[in-house]
Amino acid sequence: MRVLGLFAKHPTPGAVKTRLAHEIGELAAAEFAEASLRDVVDRFADAADARWLGYAPQTPAARQWFGELAGEQYHLWPQPSGDLGQRIESFFAAVNDAYGAVSPSIVLIGS
């Protein structure tokens, strides 16, 4: 079993692509983040045996937005709090727990 994981933040102005926002503005940076994320989600919609989308923040609005974006192609997984290393560790544990003895090969990318 091959699993593709994608970590992504909701494209909220001021919360994504903050270094880019210093150059082009928060709204333009958020629009760029959204367009890039849509491209990645579409590009990998058929990749691997299973696809997981780890989204942040853990809000109802973000879950709804990512659910509409991902459709049936991705399993939604809310990223827990913590630093990136802790979130990655939690992701690998969740995927391994979900597939049990299958022992999947996992690739995780960020948007």
Q: Is the pLDDT of residue 101 over 80?
A: no
The CA distance from 73 to 79, in Å, is 18
- Asked if 70 contacts 53 with a C-beta cutoff of 8 angstroms, the reply is yes
Angle at 87 (CA atoms; ends 85, 92), nearest 5 degrees? 95
Count of structural domains within the chain: 1
Q: Is the pLDDT of residue 100 over 90?
A: no
What pLDDT shows up at residue 36? 97
Angle at 17 (CA atoms; ends 46, 63), nearest 5 degrees? 50
Which residues share a beta bridge with 107?
A: 4
Q: Look up the CATH number of the domain holding residue 93.
A: 3.90.550.10
* Residue ranges making up the domain that contains 77: 2-110
The CA distance from 34 to 47, in Å, is 20
Q: Is the pLDDT of residue 10 over 90?
A: yes
Among residues of the chain, what percentage have pLDDT more than 90?
A: 95
How would residue 111 be classed by pLDDT, with cut points 50, 70 and 90? confident
